[in-house]
Chain A
Amino acid sequence: MPVLGQKKLLGADDIRRAVARLAHEVVEHNHGVDELVLVGLQTRGVPLARRLQERIREFEGATVPVGELDIGLYRDDVHQRAPRALNPTSIPVDISNRTVILVDDVLYTGRTARAALDALIDLGRPRAIQLVCLIDRGHRELPIRPNYVGKNIPTSRHEKVAVRLEEVDDVDEVVLIQPPGDES
């Protein structure tokens, strides 16, 4: 195992509170849940989107549909690396004329979000697209702006932010991974 420094930034409770707040912000900003659809980006955006759906159901009493979106076929680095495994893309409703709430765990360069926009536009003509990210770690390379942010975490390019969720990783936490030799 490589010797990397890991620093826990958020625990299970922090994540729970952030998700609850994000759910409220989304509903507040859109004046309700009409014509919304939550679309989680594979892989960890999907369980996050489902949690948002749960929270919204709890306080609004309404069920917002949830879909999953894999952007593997829209990446801009397809020819620079070995091909990645593709995960399912499945949205249970037609996204045309709806407001799509894209959900991702970490927003970084913005390239994933850009690919997601292209993918969504091939699937229909949404009225609007809004972006939720649990963590914004900065260092945008494209003019992409999140609408809703769980937590801003300034990082350096050498570091990594890993979001771990119970549904995928058996634990809820966000950690900062530093290369050896770095001071935290």
Chain B
Amino acid sequence: MTLQLINRGPNGVHIQPRRGRRHVLDLDDFSVEEVETVLETATRMKDVLQRPIKKVPTLRGKTLVTLFYEASTRTRVGFEVAAKALGADTVSVAAASSSVTKGESLIDTIRTLQALGADFVVMRHHQAGAPYVVAEEVASSVINAGDGWHAHPTQALLDLFTIRERLGRIGGLRVAIIGDILHSRVARSNLWGLTLMGADVVLCGPPTMLPAPSFCAAGLPWQLQRTYLLDEALDGADVVMVLRMQLERQTGGLFPSLREYVRTYALTEERLSKAKPGALVMHPGPMNEGVEIDPKVARGVQSAIEAQVTNGVAVRMALLYLLSGLPA
């Protein structure tokens, strides 16, 4: 048995796991190496998910608690499947059904969960920054499954994984993100991830839903382009990421009607033809089919939407594995 910790992969690439990370709150503090490690590890995890027995004993005896203040099937189940595939136990707390509604504060809830033995807390909350409050107070590892408009790091990682899996690379690709950017945590985390890995990002949406031009010119930490015109965004795009029109999060007055939004921004087959041939179509889900995306496009040959879901489990398994173990 070899005693070295730095392993050389079959083609000579050094893969060194990041040491000492306790939480995954956002992608803004990931290095390129760390993202590479996650993607490599997720590839291994995807192999496990393709075996007859989709389970390994790695996190046996560990407990993962999902604490969701916002409804979500895909992300929550994705984490539960990931945890179980690694042999961990899972407990799911839906905020509406717990003492949270009685006015128990966020910190009280978390302390209770920790006292009950949670090693990992996966939380989704409607307010930006909530996981940071929790991460400061608890000994468990905290994974942000979405906090308000701010971040959804696991989504961005699985998006990067999917892009590389289907197109072979990330750097140098042109990625168009379409929709309500300003209120989208998926957009923000993908901006961190894509710009870190060398992609060119163009944001497209109605003027009321894009960051102000002055912020984009100076002040934002990402290099990006912005346009109000869908055809301009799609021109030369290798990847088209469509965001859900967040009907439940609007405070009104940001666009006149669904009909106008659909006419201007919906990704139909005809508009998709303006992108590069073979361009990848992605959507973080859940989709409003017929609103931001045409059903035929969603199910079409260029769509990677289902792959995103499968890859989501593998990426989450990778993160749980990489967060386990003593910090170095």
Are A and B direct contacts in the complex by CB distance below 8 Å? Answer: yes
- Chain A residues in the interface with B (C-beta under 8 A): 42-44, 46, 70, 72-75, 78-90, 104-109, 111-112, 118-119, 122-124, 160, 162-163, 168
| Cβ-closest chain B residue relative to A133 | B1
* A104 and B1 alpha carbons, distance in the complex (Å): 7
One of A82, A89, A90 near B20 (C-beta < 8 A): A82
Chain B: minimal CB distance from A14 (Å): 19
| Cβ-closest chain A residue relative to B321 | A83
Complex contact B7–A84 (CB within 8 A): yes
A73-B48, A88-B10 are known contacts. Are A105 and B326 too (CB-CB below 8 A)? no
Complex contact B10–A122 (CB within 8 A): no
B111 within 8 A of A: no
| Cβ-closest chain A residue relative to B9 | A87
B41 within 8 A of A: yes
A78-B325, A80-B326, A83-B324 are known contacts. Are A122 and B51 too (CB-CB below 8 A)? yes
* A81 and B325 alpha carbons, distance in the complex (Å): 5
A-B contacts besides A82-B20, A83-B324, 12 pairs, CB < 8 Å: A73-B56, A73-B57, A73-B86, A78-B325, A81-B326, A84-B5, A85-B7, A86-B41, A87-B7, A88-B9, A106-B1, A123-B53
Complex contact B17–A74 (CB within 8 A): no
Complex contact A122–B321 (CB within 8 A): no
Report which residue of A80, A88, A112 has the largest number of chain B beta carbons within 10 angstroms of its beta carbon: A88
A88 contacts across to B, CB distance below 8 A: 9-10, 43-44, 47
Complex contact B57–A118 (CB within 8 A): yes
Chain B: minimal CB distance from A134 (Å): 11
Complex contact B58–A74 (CB within 8 A): yes
B interface, how many residues as a size bin? Answer: 35 or more
Complex contact B2–A43 (CB within 8 A): yes
Complex contact A122–B53 (CB within 8 A): yes
Q: What's the dominant secondary structure at chain A's contact region?
A: mixed
Complex contact B327–A82 (CB within 8 A): yes
Chain B: minimal CB distance from A18 (Å): 18
Report which residue of A80, A82, A122 has the largest number of chain B beta carbons within 10 angstroms of its beta carbon: A82
A84 contacts across to B, CB distance below 8 A: 5, 7, 17
B40 within 8 A of A: yes
B274 within 8 A of A: no
A73-B58, A87-B9 are known contacts. Are A79 and B326 too (CB-CB below 8 A)? yes
B164 within 8 A of A: no
Complex contact B2–A82 (CB within 8 A): no
* A109 and B1 alpha carbons, distance in the complex (Å): 9
Chain B: minimal CB distance from A104 (Å): 7
Name B92-151 residues within 8 Å CB distance of A. none
* A45 and B267 alpha carbons, distance in the complex (Å): 51
Chain A: minimal CB distance from B43 (Å): 8
* A122 and B266 alpha carbons, distance in the complex (Å): 46
Report which residue of A80, A85, A124 has the largest number of chain B beta carbons within 10 angstroms of its beta carbon: A85
